[in-house]
Structure 1
Amino acid sequence: MLLRLARPADAEAIRTIYNAEVTGSTVTFDLRPRSLEEQRAWLDARSGAFAVLVAEDEGEVVGFASLSPYRDRPAYSTTVEESIYIRHDQRGKGLGKALLGEIVEVASRQGFHTIMARVVGHHQASIGLHRSVGFGVVGVEREVGRKFGKWLDVVVMQRML
């Protein structure tokens, strides 16, 4: 397994992994799949300090993790939010922990002070994954999302760098 910075050519693979979660799960609150153009723009916006890492297995992208700005206001500039997605058939192999650990290291090397994660409330595997690399729960936002006819909580997690 190779962990590396994403390249423009990875946009379609990232889009495929992400869109499967948009249409089939509540781990993202997006309701509409991304087009390839939207995915390319998303990837372009995460260059420099706001990195995207991919996990590659035998030349195929099977997961990704990203850093995004936490909030727009300048005082938040040293805080980032991370996201992580693993292709369904690759889960349970330690890939999530490897990617998450590496994106935390990237955030630290880039000089960020803290990293946030927002996890849908019932996703115990993701909450456990984040705990395993040093994130702690700092709050729960009750019924802030609605998808597939259900109200969804968000568990807010944080790791100081």
Structure 2
Amino acid sequence: MAIRAARLADAEGILEIVNHEILNGVSIFELAPRTLADQRTWLQDRAGVHAVIVATPDGDDHTVLGFASLSPFHTRPAYNTTVENSVYVHRDHRGQGIGRALLEELVGLAKSHGFHTVIARISGGNETSVAVHRSVGFELVGTERQVGRKFGRWLDVSVMQLMLAD
């Protein structure tokens, strides 16, 4: 497996992962599928320090096994040294260490870009994601109760945090 910076050509592979989660899962709080144009815009908006990375199979630079991103935590300037992370793995490739590898690479990028802390918001009691984040050093710092509603049920969000610098 290789991990590299996402390119515009990766939009379709990322879109497949995202839309499956939107339509079938609770890890994304969107209700309507994205279009390819939406996904391309999302990728273009995440350049520089707010990076997107993808995992691809060795020797196959076109198949997206998973992706991860850093996004601004908040729009107010005092939050500029804090980022929020997202990690998603294609449903056919889960349980192979791809999520952890992406998260480790993403944390390294956040450090090299000078961020102070990374926040993860994990929805719907996703214990696998909580465990992966814990394995990389994130700590549970709180729970936002019933902040989302999808598929006719209320969803909590676990908030995890990794301090990058003292």
| TM-score category, normalised to shorter length | over 0.9
Deviations 1:61-94 (A, max 9, x none): 1100000000000000000000000001100001
Task: Indicate if the aligned counterparts of 2:8 and 2:40 stay in contact, CA closer than 8 A.
Answer: yes
Of residues 113, 133, 137 in structure 2, which corresponds to 1:134?
137
- The whole-number CA distance in structure 1 between the counterparts of 2:52 and 2:142 is 26
- The whole-number CA distance in structure 2 between the counterparts of 1:31 and 1:105 is 32
Task: Indicate if the aligned counterparts of 2:26 and 2:124 stay in contact, CA closer than 8 A.
Answer: no
Gaps of 5+ in 1: none
3-state SS, counterpart of residue 127 of structure 1? helix
- Is structure 2 residue 89 aligned with structure 1 residue 86? yes
3-state SS, counterpart of residue 107 of structure 2? helix
Residue 122 of structure 1 deviates from its aligned partner by: 1.1
Residue of structure 1 equivalent to 2:32: 32
Pairs aligned (count): 161
- The whole-number CA distance in structure 1 between the counterparts of 2:98 and 2:107 is 14
Distance 1:127 1:140, change over 3 A: same
- The whole-number CA distance in structure 2 between the counterparts of 1:21 and 1:127 is 17
Residue of structure 1 equivalent to 2:111: 108
Question: Structure 1 residue runs of 4+, over 2 Å off?
Answer: none
CA RMSD of aligned residues (A): 0.6
- The whole-number CA distance in structure 2 between the counterparts of 1:121 and 1:107 is 26
**AA partner of residue 146 (structure 1):** R
Residue 146 of structure 1 deviates from its aligned partner by: 0.2
Residue pairs, 1:141-152, within 5 angstroms: 141-152=144-155
Q: Give the TM-score of the pair, scaled to structure 1.
A: 0.98
- The whole-number CA distance in structure 2 between the counterparts of 1:77 and 1:66 is 16
Gaps of 5+ in 2: none
Residue of structure 2 equivalent to 1:6: 6
